[in-house]
Amino acid sequence: MMADTLYLSLWYPNLRLAALPDKLMAVLGAFAAHGGEPRVYAATAWPVSWSEAPVFQRVYGHGERGAEPKQAVEEALELLHEDYAYEFQIGWSLWELEGGAFAGAAGTADPSSARVASGAPRSAQEVGRDMILDARWARGPRLVRVTGFGPLFDEGAYEQEGHIKVEFGSDAPFLEEDADLDTVGGRHVEENVRQLIELTAAIEKESGATARVLWSELGESLAQRLAARLGMRN
């Protein structure tokens, strides 16, 4: 199955524009505790619709060069208008395949995983096999987009997109159709899924969202796909 783009849409009851900055700071602040960076990489303010040129754009940089969420939100939303959208980019780390087919595809499950679970000693050959499998995976940051919508931006796009929308990028790290779930790679996929679930729950709670939808461009239920994927273990 083709990789798809993953989104989280959040809605808040009777949200006033003046409350949007606090909601954005809460969403951005949740990343640091769930595999993300504490600082914002970039901020952009878009007027009227996506086809217009930004009226504000600033790239702070990675790591310590980044801006605290409060600073980034205050600077971008200094121009607070009902027909603006405010986009922030922040780093979030996941396990991802480093190109090529997965070495532990179906039929080549790594037997050392069972020994790890049972606490049994592992041979040098088994340790080496794990290292080979692990070498095809790397944990590194991707830039996630967090966008807050004014009520009149793009003809009321928030009704479908959410008052705040989080764009996670490709859903491949959560599904990896070729990875055997009994291998090191499979454990990385499960770790990614757990991190996604914990982050979305924290974002909902800390920002006070009353409705959230995790969705993809292809329109398929991600929850069903994840359940089917992880259910292959049973």
**Model confidence over 174-200: pLDDT tens digits?**
887 666 666 788 888 889 999 999 999
CA dihedral 12, 13, 18, 19 (to 10 degrees): -50
CA angle 63, 144, 205 (to 5 degrees): 100
Which of the four pLDDT bands, split at 50, 70 and 90, describes residue 222? low
Looking at every residue in the chain, the average pLDDT score rounds to 83
Residue range(s) defining the domain that contains residue 38: 5-231
Least Cα distance to 90 among 114, 115, 67 occurs for 67
Whether the pLDDT of residue 8 is over 50: the answer is: yes
Q: Does residue 200 sit in helix, strand or coil?
A: helix
The model's pLDDT over 204-215, given as tens digits with 9 standing for 90+, comes to: 999 999 999 998
pTM beyond 0.75: yes
**Across 22-28, average pLDDT:** 98
Q: Report the number of distinct structural domains present in the chain.
A: 1
With a cut of 60, say whether residue 7 has pLDDT above it: yes
